[in-house]
Structure 1
Amino acid sequence: MKIKFLITVLVIATIFSSYAYEKTYDISHVFYYTLTSVKFEEFVKNAEIISPLNANNKTITKDTILVGTPNDNPLIKKYIGFFEVKVNETYPGKDKGVIEKQIINGHTVVILTGSDIQGVYSSILTFANLNDLPDKPIICETFNKAEIYGIPSLDSKYFRNFVEDHLLTLKNIEEVKNISYHLRGDNKKETAENIAKWVAEHVKYDYGKAKKIENGKFEWKDIYNPPLKTVKTGRGICLDYATLTSALLLNDNITPYILDVYLYNESSMRLSKISHASVAVEINNTFFVIDQQPKLIPINEYTTQTFEGNLKIASIVMFKVVKERDKIKIIKYREIPGVAIYGDLVELLNMRFNN
């Protein structure tokens, strides 16, 4: 993973002093050339990392790195009073992170926290560049927004253009119009339910294609199918399901939202190499997800699901599919806050200490 961020680190000299030391550097180079103390290296290698991914029912029984905002990580919320800087939603402020060390239950505990997710990411990146455990609190901030996407992702304009030009053209959508007509219900919800059920019953998951993607040896045009081909073969992978579902919805005048879904392994806290795709529809101001199942799933329930391989959802990016006069446009609509950044801490520390 190559990460290039400029980070401004403000080190609090004392709680009573306004003096701050400021340093700017390219974080991607510091991993390999900054020496670390033996004590710091031993701490990182032996400490348990507890983030919102694995914080439930946890207690501090050894040296620990606590990661997340006080709202996301119950252990940080529980122990924040032990630390000098009392982090909350407004302090130290938007996009600002905090690194602090304290002894709790006889163990060294470091918190990587912040007022928001971006602040937490700042503390993660900064911590991965330290050469020793901090004696004083560190307040840090990144200049660049951290964004994590799977591969391939609709956030890539090249892949988005491929979907618009080869999978969801006006012609492609017209080819499945008869199916949409027969699935039209008395209202928006009934129509969406009919489409979800029909797709789940008529398309089977293609594990062979999925394996090719996992191995990384494929061409987009050889893997992903336009809607009619998915119907004729009766097989597909997640994006095939998503584009077919989107085409059927568009023909019935329902706006689909394709979801880029990023997954992580709960035990290792690592992001999956493969992202997932599904579709959402908005009904009475609530989003419902259509994802290879014969029913609509409220999005708040969908985000808690466990996927094959014991994977869970790290984050979701929604893309609105808009039918214009001469073509289909896929427009980034919303990011659903996720926990993908916590897996990055493991990756960064591995880069630093196991390189």
Structure 2
Amino acid sequence: MRYILILILLIFVFAGYFYQEEPVSKPYMEKINVMEKADKFVSQKTTKFEKSYTEKIILDKITPSQVEEVKDLAMQLKGKNDYETIWNIVAWEEKNIKYDWEKFNRWKKHDFITGNIEDEIQKPVDTWTSGYGVCIDYALLTSALLLSLGKECYIFDIDGVDGGHAFAAYKIGNIYFAMDQKLPVTDVYSDIILFSKTYWNLNPSSTKVYKIWMENGKVKVKEIPFSSIPHNYPPINSNIEIANDIIDYFSKKYGLKKDSRINNMEHMKYLPTGYKSGKYWIQEVNVNMYPQFGEKWGEWLDNRLDENFNKWRYVWAKVEDKKIYLYLAK
């Protein structure tokens, strides 16, 4: 009996020695493998995007004359504070600049019209006047607009299998806000996380950051470590403040009365007594929401909804789990 037990024990020992566990999460492991491929792609096929090249692109495209040429547009977009200004710039770009998918697909295939990608990256004025651009074109235009207002800015450059991604950013306090083609404006980490979920072939760990400023009439660029960008922002417990700003926006613009009785309409089977009809929307935001943008949240929601708000009498709103709930009744 003793020999049988020893034999069984030896079988388990050798089985454990040769056994190799399967990954806990197969999709996650596959994603890591793709990131490794992205690193190889960057080192073997896109050596043009090394540090000196990116800085050269910024200095070549954002010249002092380009900064001066976009100043009139920048002054039109300037708000009463920095939060309003950066929101206005992104709102204008979302409305007036279309993403150039034809250009993106050509770049993805390395099919350059001029034979050099550098020649196809647009100067800020060219993106403004043509109304088209890819991410780096947006980033350069955004940076020129901020520089023309006497502000420092940043460009974040992320490598990926399909060429990567770039966006401009502006720092207020200790928070770097991404100005990435579309509203709403959020912090850079929240923006990168959301973008990576959509385009998971990006390699966020490859991110390079370039600080850009004007000095003695010249454009200056300096690479700073991505690790120096703070990302442990304090918890944002401001849902009520943002909801109140949204309510104030619709109340002021359309003369609607604030009425908390229509709150949580999505859970109601019938409206409270005294109302004949109601309507509500749920807008997913999916990024960190900042109350500093005030009534811009209401303006953003207004522009997204195809609705005649003048036919309603009452309004209310709430914010939960990165979602905006807007309620109307009469």
Q: After the TM superposition, which residues 179-198 of structure 1 pair with which residues of structure 2 at under 5 Å, given as runs?
A: 179-198=73-92
Amino acid at match of 2:67: I
Amino acid at match of 2:171: E
Report the CA distance between 1:182 and its aligned residue. 0.6
Report the CA distance between 1:311 and its aligned residue. 3.9
- Asked if the contact 2:150–2:214 (Cα under 8 Å) also holds between the matched residues in 1, the reply is no
Query: Who is 1:283 aligned against?
Result: 172
Query: Who is 2:212 aligned against?
Result: 321
Deviations 1:73-93 (A, max 9, x none): xxxxxxxxxxxxxxxxxxxxx
Structure richer in strand, relative to its length: 1
Aligned pair partner of 1:222 in 104, 110, 119: 119
Query: Who is 1:171 aligned against?
Result: 65
Amino acid at match of 1:261: I
> Structure 2: how far apart are the matches of 1:51 and 1:239?
34
Aligned pair partner of 1:302 in 183, 191, 209: 191
Deviations 1:240-288 (A, max 9, x none): 000000011111122111001234xxxxxxxx24111001111121111
Report the CA distance between 1:47 and its aligned residue. 7.1
Aligned pair partner of 2:222 in 310, 313, 331: 331
Aligned with 1:303: secondary structure?
helix
> Structure 2: how far apart are the matches of 1:206 and 1:334?
30
Change (3 A) 1:51 1:260: farther
Q: Which structure's CA Rg is the greater one? A: 2
- Asked if the contact 1:322–1:328 (Cα under 8 Å) also holds between the matched residues in 2, the reply is yes
Report the CA distance between 1:220 and its aligned residue. 2.8
Structure 1 unpaired stretches of 5+: 1-41, 56-65, 68-123, 125-147, 264-271, 338-355
Query: Who is 2:28 aligned against?
Result: 54
Query: Who is 2:273 aligned against?
Result: none
Change (3 A) 1:296 1:309: closer
> Structure 2: how far apart are the matches of 1:210 and 1:282?
29
- Asked if the contact 2:158–2:202 (Cα under 8 Å) also holds between the matched residues in 1, the reply is no
Report the CA distance between 1:52 and its aligned residue. 11
Report the CA distance between 1:202 and its aligned residue. 0.8
> Structure 1: how far apart are the matches of 2:173 and 2:26?
31
Aligned pair partner of 2:53 in 158, 162, 170: 158
Query: Given the alignment of the two structures, is residue 202 of structure 1 paired with residue 202 of structure 2, yes or no?
Result: no
Amino acid at match of 1:164: L
- Asked if the contact 1:289–1:299 (Cα under 8 Å) also holds between the matched residues in 2, the reply is yes
Amino acid at match of 2:56: N
Change (3 A) 1:164 1:158: same
- Asked if the contact 1:154–1:160 (Cα under 8 Å) also holds between the matched residues in 2, the reply is no
> Structure 2: how far apart are the matches of 1:52 and 1:291?
31
> Structure 1: how far apart are the matches of 2:76 and 2:148?
11
> Structure 2: how far apart are the matches of 1:180 and 1:157?
29
Change (3 A) 1:185 1:301: same
- Asked if the contact 2:151–2:213 (Cα under 8 Å) also holds between the matched residues in 1, the reply is no
TM normalised by structure 2 equals 0.53
Name the count of aligned residue pairs.
198
- Asked if the contact 1:188–1:254 (Cα under 8 Å) also holds between the matched residues in 2, the reply is no
Report the CA distance between 1:224 and its aligned residue. 0.8
RMSD: 3.4
Change (3 A) 1:314 1:169: same
Amino acid at match of 1:54: Y
Deviations 1:130-186 (A, max 9, x none): xxxxxxxxxxxxxxxxxx779366643134213312x10001111111000111111
> Structure 2: how far apart are the matches of 1:50 and 1:273?
28
Report the CA distance between 1:295 and its aligned residue. 2.6
Change (3 A) 1:194 1:156: same
- Asked if the contact 1:286–1:298 (Cα under 8 Å) also holds between the matched residues in 2, the reply is yes
Change (3 A) 1:48 1:318: farther
